[in-house]
Each structure stands twice: as C-alpha cells, then as structure tokens.
Amino acid sequence: LETRRRKTSDFRLILGASNLARLRNERPLVFVRGKGIFLWDEAGREYLEASSSFYCAALGFSDSEISDAAVEQLRRLPFSISAGHRTTDVTVELSERLAAFAPFPNARIAFANSGSEANDALIKFVRFANVARGESKRRKIICRAGSYHGCTTLLAGLGSSRELQQAFGLVADDIITVSQPDLRNALPGESTTEFLARIVAELEEAIVQAGPETIAAFIAEPVSFSAGFVIPPLGYFQSIAQVLRRYRIRLLADEIVTGFYRLGTPMGWQVLDVPCDGLTVGKALTAAFAPMGALLIDESLYDELCTGTAQGLFGHVSTYAGHPLCAAVALRVLQTLERRGIDRHVAAIQPRFRQMLESLRTHVLVSNTRALGLAGAVALKIPDTKASLAMWQIASAVQACALARGLLVRLNGDVVILAPPLIIDDAEIVELGSRLRSALDGARSLLETPERIVMDPTVTHPNRSHR
Ligand SMILES: Cc1ncc(COP(=O)(O)O)c(C=O)c1O
C-alpha cells in the first residue's frame, strides 16, 4: 500500500473502466511480473488471476514457447504491411489456420488490432456489401441489452445503457436493442419454452417496427459475459436465426471472449449451435502475448465485397492489422493449444471447476452459480437480514475482499465472473475456491458496518446498471 500511495500526483495514465478522480489521487494496482496463473504487483504481492485479465490470458503469464515465437519473428521479420496487395508469410498461414474455426466453409479472414476493431470492421463490411447490393438503407444493427462489443464510437452504443450513450454523445439512431435471453428475466410462472417464444417474438416485433429493409445485422456473443454470464436457453440461436433469415438480416457472432476453448469447444458457436454468417475473435487468439483481432466471413459476404469493389479498391486499411509479430504469436498459440490437448484438459478439469462454484451456493451472499467450460459465474444476493443494503455495497465489498486476498475476478453488477487461464490445474482450482470463499466471508463481515464500504465503480460494467 505504501508503494501505491507514494507516487500519486505525477500519475499520468488514464485508465478505462476506472474512477478518474480516484486515479488522480491513488496509484492503481501495478503489476510487474507473472508466472502461470499468478501475477505480482510492484509491492511484491501475489494475485491469482481468475478472469485471465479480462478473459485474455488463456495460457497464463509465462509461456516460453509463445515468447520464443515472438522473439523468433521479431528477429526474422518484425514488420511489413498487410495491405496494398502484399502481406507476410505468417499472416497468410494464420488466415489458413483460422478458417477452420468458422462454422461455414471457405471462410475469408481479415485481421484487426483488437476485438473492437474486428467488430467495427465486420459491421463496416456488412454495410459495404449492402450498399454494393443496392440496399444502402440496410444499416441498423440489432444488439442485446447489456452485451458489450467494443469501445469505438459505433460499438460503444451497442447494448449499453442510455446514460452511457448520452455521456459520450453517441449516435444511437442505427441501434436496435432487444432483450437478453436471460432466464432471470422470465415472468413469474413462465416456462423456458414460453420465455424463449416471448424473446423471439420481441425480436420479430422490433424488426417489423424498425423496418426490415433498414436492418443490416444482429450481433451476439454465444454467452454474454458482460450481461452477467448469460447462457441462453437451448434453441435460442436456432429460433432467432430463423427470424433473421426471413428478413435477410445477417447473424454475427462475437466470439472475442468465447473463442478458443473457453466454453469447452474450440468456438462458442459449437456448444450453442450458433448458425452465424460472420464472426469475430480476439483476446485468447494470441493468449494476450500480443494484441490482435480477426473477422471471419462467409463466402457470400466476400462475394458481395468483391462485387462492390469490381471497379476499384476495397477502401479499408489498418496499418498494423495482420502484424507478423501478432500473427506468429497467434499461430504458435493455436498450435500449442492443439498440441497440448487443451480441449481434453478443459474437459477433464471443468467438473472440478463447476463443483467448486456449486460449493459456494449455500453462502449467505450467493443466490446461484452457473458454469460452462472454464467460465462461470457466482450470482450475488442481498441477504434477507440486510435488506436495506444496495447491490453495489455487496459487490464493492466482495471486490475489495477478493483483492485483499490476492484474487482477481470480474464483477459485473451482481455477478462475479470467473474465467481462469485454461492451464489452471486441480490444486489451483481449490486455491481459487478457497480465496473466493474467504472473500465472500470477508464481505459478509464488512456488511456488518456498511458505512465502511467504499463504492467501487469498477464492479459495474459500463453496459450494466446495478440491480
Ligand atoms: C464480447 C466482447 N466483444 C468485444 C470486445 C472488445 O474487445 P477489445 O477490448 O479487444 O477491443 C470485448 C472486450 O471486452 C468483449 O468482451
């Protein structure tokens, strides 16, 4: 704590999803080293990273095979542009390998520098194709409330609260927001089938109301982490795909978090049966050893892009997209995941992960838990005896107590989200569970004197408001 307090006035960094006023006066956590699933801060304290640092570090924080691939590439060819009818060998090789992760044959790949840029480009491509087809009015994007797809001026408005849209002066005219398929929003007495039918009817109503000829695409993550780890009911994606097909609206899958074995299968669309026309990846693609995003599109969309550029140039470039350093890292990550049998490891370890979460269900601050693959959520509740407290107090207390016990988790409103590095082993799952239980116990004690709880704005995702 001493180190954190010392250098305050000259702290120049602006950090997103942070309280800027607090940042001015209080040095944030600064990490200096990592090994396996653990990180160490500048004061020498150890932390177990149970959310893979915003769902990125799939292989943890020290993998010499991946760092070696980076160094080898930097020595051989640090950079050459991937645009203007030129590229590099590793960029080509990665595109060939990535095509196998698409649900459609003959996928075409474009690279980006982040997940946001990949989603932004995918929407841009779809709109371009629509213009090329003579349907320039088809611009609107349907998203689900609480979902997050990125930080650009286009994406920040998707799924976000009206307050956030207004705060950043975002133009939300082209955005249609529908409900999240979150069974917690089912009406009293409503069955899963009835709930699903209602959600699908709501989508169709929204399409008809907005005018189908104005809608370009529907974007969704197979499981929405930002909306509180929402696993849709079985058949959800198949049912909405039918509606979308009827109105010729493309279904885009955002696999930036769910891609690359997080949910147990190579991609999230495989476990949730998402028949998408295009998808985006990022985060675990490079296991976070380098920044990279990518979009995979089906052949029909690619054909339309070709038609649109028949007379000239496809006017989309991003200087570092497809950077050979990132491509070499991603290639080695994909090879490593396969060679080490990460799918078998996730399959073997996920029952333990699920059991660990389920063992927390009886805790007074827990309403329920859910898990899929190596991702899971602990939904918090306000204890009956503390009915006067607000959810932000519970969440802030849990976050503070987790940090104090060397545990890094994501808190989204009333949900603690866990997505540890895929390399986590049995003993580390036990350790994670014990730190989390201790954090919940600590929070319960802290709630005895709620005036001591400091509001932590990081516990709310910008897209979600406290419930
Ligand atoms: C589902 C989803 N899509 C897109 C993004 C944006 O990715 P990036 O932050 O790499 O731009 C995120 C980031 O958290 C995400 O969770």
* Mean pLDDT of all residues in 236-259: 98
Do 308 and 101 contact (CB within 8 A), yes or no?
A: no
Separation in Å, CA 206 to CA 178, 210, 225, 276, 278 = 8, 6, 24, 20, 22
Q: Look at residue 456 in the predicted model and tell me its pLDDT.
A: 80
Contact 287, 324 (CB under 8 A): no
pTM of the model: 0.95
Tens digits of residue pLDDT in 341-366: 999 999 999 999 999 999 999 999 99
Instruction: List all residues whose CB is within 6 A of at least one atom of ligand 1.
Output: 54, 114-116, 119, 148-151, 221, 225-226, 254, 256-257, 282
The answer on pLDDT for 463 being more than 90 is: no
Residue nearest atom 10 of ligand 1, based on CA coordinates:
115
User: Of the ranges 85-99, 302-316, 353-367, 396-410, which one carries the lowest mean pLDDT score?
Assistant: 302-316
The band of 180, judged by pLDDT with boundaries at 50, 70 and 90, is very high
d(CA 409, CA 417): 6
The string of pLDDT tens digits covering residues 48-61 is 999 999 999 999 99
C-alpha 435 to ligand 1 mean position (Å): 27
Spacing, Cα 9 to ligand 1 middle (Å) = 31
Number of C-alpha atoms within 13 angstroms, CB side, residue 148?
21
* Token duo for residue 351: 């029952």
What's the gap in Å between 256 CA and the centre of ligand 1? 6
State yes or no: pLDDT of 385 exceeds 80: yes
With the most atoms of ligand 1 within 8 angstroms of its CB, the residue from 51, 55, 116 to mutate is 116
pLDDT, residue 467, reads: 33
Residue 464: is its pLDDT beyond 80? no
Give the whole-angstrom CA distance, residue 386 versus residue 408.
26
Mean pLDDT, residues 442-463 taken together: 80
381 pLDDT above the threshold of 90: yes
Locate 157 and state its tokens.
């408005």
Q: What pLDDT sits at residue 460?
A: 63
Q: What is the pLDDT of residue 454?
A: 81
Question: Which sign, positive or negative, has the C-alpha torsion 153, 159, 165, 170?
Answer: positive
Residue with the bigger pLDDT between 164 and 218: it is 218
Residue 261 class from Cβ within 10 Å (0-12 exposed, 13-18 middle, 19+ buried)?
Answer: buried
Residue in the block written with tokens 């200096």:
32
For position 309, what pLDDT does the model report? 87
pLDDT, mean of residues 243-251: 98
pLDDT digits (tens, 9 = 90+) for 82-113: 999 999 999 999 999 999 999 999 999 999 99
Task: Give the end-to-end CA distance of the chain in Å, rounded to a whole number.
Answer: 32
Query: What whole-number distance in Å separates Cα of residue 29 and Cα of residue 52?
Result: 16
Percent of the chain with pLDDT over 90: 86
Q: Residue 17 C-alpha to ligand 1 middle, in angstroms?
A: 13
Decide if pLDDT at 201 tops 60. Answer: yes
Ligand 1 center from residue 115 Cα (angstroms): 5
Kindly state the tokens that stand for 313. 């140039």
Closest to 5 measured CA to CA, from 28, 21, 36: 28
| Residue 394 in this model has a pLDDT that exceeds 80 | yes
CA of 150 relative to ligand 1 center, distance in Å:
5
Confidence band, pLDDT 50/70/90 cuts, at residue 457:
confident
Confidence of residue 325 (pLDDT cuts 50, 70, 90): very high
As a whole number of angstroms, the distance between CA 49 and CA 298 comes to 36
Please give the angle made by the CA atoms of 25, 28 and 259, to the nearest 5 degrees. Answer: 145
Using DSSP, state whether 2 is helix, strand or coil: helix
Q: What is the pLDDT of residue 466?
A: 37
Looking at residues 382-402, what average pLDDT do you find? 93
At residue 55, what is the residue type? Y
106-165 pLDDT, tens digit per residue, is 999 999 999 999 999 999 999 999 999 999 999 999 999 999 999 999 999 999 988 999
341-348 contacts, C-beta under 8 A, 24 or more apart:
342/261, 342/422, 342/423, 343/261, 343/264, 343/265, 343/266, 345/422, 345/423, 346/261, 346/264, 346/373, 346/374, 346/422, 347/264
Ligand 1: which of 256, 258, 260, 281 to mutate, most ligand atoms within 8 Å of CB? Answer: 256
Ligand 1 atom at minimum distance from 221 CA: 1
With both helix axes pointing from N to C terminus, report the angle between 342-358 and 324-339 in degrees, rounded to the nearest 10. 80
